[in-house]
Homo-oligomer: A and B are copies of this chain.
């Protein structure tokens, strides 16, 4: 069995944003030399997400508005968590909806994807350095 580990680093210039990281994960798969296996991609932070969906600009705007409706950032004092001095309770809730991680099959040395599947990093509390873990097992 082969294993491979790499961290991807992000530092978004806004509180919220989405980054397509498919090419970076595909590069990890190539480097790993794994032909058949699984790749786990997860945010190492609890206020950001990894998820798979379509890369279409309008849809990314829809997510921003939809998440603000389901788990609004403001007023900050609507959340008990923000009594600790934080202002990011909404980021924890938004990340819950979008998910912490994805697991993707590796087949014949490549991400085994449908035609529109793309891997995204979703930031909900940015303006600082955050990490994503890529872990591969297989052979």
Contact = CB atoms under 8 A, between A and B. Distances in A.
A51 to B, nearest CB: 7
A79 B58 contact: yes
Which interface residue of A61, A96, A115 has the most chain B CB atoms within 10 A? A96
B135 A38 contact: yes
A1 to B, nearest CB: 5
Interface in A50-75: 51-54, 56-59, 61-63, 66, 70-71
Interface in A1-36: 1, 3, 5, 36
Chain A residues touching B, majority SS? mixed
Given A53-B96, A137-B36, A59 B89 contact: yes
A110 interface: no
A40 B38 CA distance: 9
Contacts of A92: 53-54, 59, 62
Contact of A66 (B71, B114, B115, B117): B71
Given A40-B104, A62-B79, A62-B92, 15 more contacts: A1-B139, A3-B37, A3-B138, A5-B107, A38-B40, A42-B103, A44-B115, A44-B117, A45-B116, A46-B52, A58-B82, A70-B70, A96-B99, A105-B135, A137-B137
